[in-house]
A = this chain, B = another copy of it.
């Protein structure tokens, strides 16, 4: 077990394993192509009828309880909870932590927070600190919409470049106990700002950050895109992925069909009216905890790079005319097959 700095912000990690993962999603996400990979799919966006914010934290709690059930653990086995969400003051994460009452390291990195939490959690377990960490992230479409955009009731038209904030949560338990999937490396992102200002085109704003992190990560590990079976960005969507591919090709790292995107994969883009694709912390969290962990376990991928992406603006910075800085954090997962 150990952690070693390979370059600034990039760490090789030894002896940190995924004990289990769980994803819970809303009805629209359940009808998408990855629906079969979710542990639970809600029948409605707000089954208990409270506020959307309460629904978001319930979604988070359900993903946390589900991964504990799947791993045969209880909250008492968790040394530290690490995670975040998109709501102001990360209220979903904090209010859920009020219930479980385990030590909490709350993070904010917008839609990139799930990979940030995996990276921080794995670094601390690998360093010899906590033995068992629960990593999670969540978003809810209606709670995000009214914080960032307009009341749903307004019925405004969305632009073709706009993404659909996923109603979904993902949770992963990391620990030093050997298991088939290991977190072998992680890279914390830098804040990159190409000057874009359109909050309805966040995929384009985030693509340069994803490309920066992918490049730094590969350089630090001394490997190339072809060393990964798949590289999944967080929520660039179909337009952002095209931009990322172009930037990677220009940088001499053509990803070919290895590059895919959680947001592009979450919905049927031709029929579910999500335009650019899915977004929100719950997008990469649920796609990783459902589909990607499943694909690693089944052998479809043997080595995977998750590069969750986040746009770091707020309604205040937008109204003040600022551009939209972005960040991407990367986590490298490998199927070691060390145990069943």
Contacts and interface: CB of A to CB of B under 8 A. Distances in A.
A138 to B, nearest CB: 14
B116 A11 contact: no
How many copies, total?
2
Interface stretch (A20-28, A96-104, A253-261, A290-298): A96-104
Contact of A317 (B11, B95, B322): B95
B314 A88 contact: yes
B187 A103 contact: yes
Interface stretch (A37-45, A79-87, A154-162): A79-87
Nearest to A51: B320
B108 A90 contact: yes
A123 B116 contact: no
Indicate the member of A103, A131, A313 with the most B CB atoms within 10 Å.
A103
Q: What DSSP secondary structure best describes chain A's contact surface?
A: mixed
Given A103-B190, A108-B106, A129-B123, A89 B313 contact: yes
Contact of A9 (B87, B103, B315): B103
Interface string A26-55: 000000000000000000000000010110
Given A9-B102, A127-B128, A129-B123, A91 B51 contact: no
Interface in A198-257: none
